[in-house]
Every structure is written in structure tokens, then in C-alpha cells.
Amino acid sequence: MTTHRIFGEALAGRDIAARHPQFFQGVLKNNKTSFAIFTAAALIYLFGWYSVGVSFDRLVGGFSKFGWIVGLMLPPNPGSLHLAWVFFHGLIETLSMAFLGTFVAACLAFPLGLLAAKNVVSNPVIHFLVRRFLDTIRGIDTLIWALIWIGVVGLGPFAGVLAIITSDLGAFGKLFSEAFEAVDSKPVEGVKASGGSKLHALRFGMLPQVIPVIAGQVLYYFESNTRSATIIGIVGAGGIGLYLTETIRTLEWQQTSFIIILVLITVSLIDWLSGKLRLTIIGNQAR
């Protein structure tokens, strides 16, 4: 009976708050501020919907038209064997662009990552300049790089490769430099203490620690580049994106869905493969 009464009292929320103020204070103290932030965020959100011109009619009309288009997409059909071959060729082009772009970007980003890492290059000026350089490159989207490279080497997949290289250079440089900065300094010191030069310290102290990390990141970017290489053709830089845009513009929906399914299958294959490879690499690291 008494136990029940004690629990009954304790279950009243206010009572618990009075007994254990440390668990409630943080929330209560910031209640007004968090309410204000939440309201502001919600208002901006509503204003955003309003400013993009949303209306019930437009949503209903748009989605019913979208559903109609999806209906037209079924069943997926390339149209002719020749077109299927053309799309397949575009897919090969896309994969080549992603692979070559990721590989070359990783090779080029390696020295840049070294330069941007605090524990390798201690000169703050070089460090700062390389970091800002990488930030600027990363700030520009792959599609914009593709447009710029088209001006240099003309339309085609080569411009796409160069665009992937340039935009990945920024991302890889940053990721690699973080990997370098996260290494355990003991092996490096060990190599130096036993008379190794700076190069030896890098090769035998640092590299074994960063290679698995870097390999994982490169594989991950290869996956994501396969996706971006599919769309890079939208601006004319080769790959299957060109055909995707063309079939949408000419309202050949069955071909569109054929291409989309082709891309979906390829991307999930690549994901699966690189997931396997990544696990192997991490397994080696753990061993």
C-alpha cells in the first residue's frame, strides 16, 4: 500500500522534476530560446513553400501529371535493339568517366592532402593557402566544372572526366589531410628515433595508417561519382545523362524508364562490389 502511494506521488511529473532538477534544468532553462528558434525555423519553412509558388491546385495537378507520366513509363522499353546498344554504350562511358576521374583525382589529391595536413607541413602559410584553394574548388559543383571543361576540350566524356577530377580534388584533398592529421604519432616518432629520414617516417610511420582510410574514402567516392557521372551528360559532358535528358525532352518515357532502371541496377551493383572491397580493406586493417 505504501509502496503504491510513493510511486503514485513520484509519477506526478512536477514532483520528479523537483526531486531531480539536474535532468530537467537544461530543457527548462532554454525553453524560451528553443521555442523562438523553432518558431523562426517553422516560419521560414512556411514562407519557403509560399515563395516557391506552391498551391493545392498546383500540387494536385502536378502529382496527377507525374502519376500519368509514371504510367506512360511502364513497361520500360528501349524502343529498338540499336537504341538499347546506344544506351549501354553510354553506361560504359559513364562508368569509365567515374573510374578514371576518381583514380586520377585521388592520385593528384595525395600530395595536396599532405601539404594541407598540419602535422606534415608545419608552415602555416602553405597550410592556409592549400586549404582555401581546396575549399574554393569544392565550392563549385561538378556540373559547373563540366561546363568550364567543355569550353576547353569540347563536348564529350573527356570533359566529364576532367570535371570529376577537378571537383573531387577538393573533396579528396580535405579528407586526406584529415586522415593524415588523425594518425597516431608514435610510429612516426619511432621511425625518426631509429634514424629514419622524414621520407622514411612518412612511408613507414604514416602511410600504413592512412592507406586503409584513404582507400575506403576513394571507394566511397567512386560509388558517388558513378551517380554524378550519370547526370554530367545533362550539360553535354558525355555518359548516359545525355540520353536521359534527350528522352525526357522528347517525352519518350518508356526509354527514360529503361535508362533509369539501367542506372539503378548498375549503381547497386557498384555499391555492392565496393562495399565488399571496403570490408576487405577494413578487415585487413583490423587484422
Partner 1 sequence: MSRAVQQLPKDQFERLHVAYNQALSSKNRMTAIGLFILILLLASSFVGSEVDVHKFIRNIWRFPNYFYEITPKLSIQNFFGDIAEWFWGINKWLRQLGETLLIAYVGTITGAIIAFCLSFLSSRNMAISKWSQIFSRRLLEFLRTVPEIVFALIFVVSFGLGPLPGVLALTFHTAGALGKLFSEIIENIDAKPVEGVRASGGSWFHQVRYGAVPQVIANFASYSLLRFEINVRGAAVMGFVGAGGIGQTLIEYIRKFYYSDVSAVLILIIVTVMVIDTVTEKIRHAFIGTLER
> Which residue ranges make up the site for partner 1 (CB under 8 A)?
26, 41, 44-45, 47-49, 51-54, 58, 62-63, 65-66, 68-69, 92-93, 95-97, 99-100, 103, 135-136, 139-141, 143-144, 147-149, 151-154, 156-158, 160-161, 227-228, 230-231, 234-235, 238, 244-245, 248, 251, 256, 260, 263-264, 267-268
Residue whose CB is less far from partner 1, 202 or 277: 277
Residue whose CB is less far from partner 1, 28 or 153: 153
Distance CA 202, CA 176 (A): 14
Residue whose CB is less far from partner 1, 49 or 119: 49
Distance CA 149, CA 238 (A): 12
Measured from the CB of residue 197, what is the shortest distance to partner 1 in angstroms? 25
Measured from the CB of residue 145, what is the shortest distance to partner 1 in angstroms? 11
Residue whose CB is less far from partner 1, 78 or 157: 157
**Which residues 6+ apart lie within 8 Å of 19 measured at CB?**
10
Measured from the CB of residue 42, what is the shortest distance to partner 1 in angstroms? 9
Residue whose CB is less far from partner 1, 88 or 182: 88
Q: Sign of the CA dihedral 80, 81, 83, 88?
A: positive
Measured from the CB of residue 81, what is the shortest distance to partner 1 in angstroms? 21
Distance CA 132, CA 241 (A): 32
Residue whose CB is less far from partner 1, 28 or 148: 148
C-alpha cell at 82: 540499336
Measured from the CB of residue 69, what is the shortest distance to partner 1 in angstroms? 6
Measured from the CB of residue 198, what is the shortest distance to partner 1 in angstroms? 26
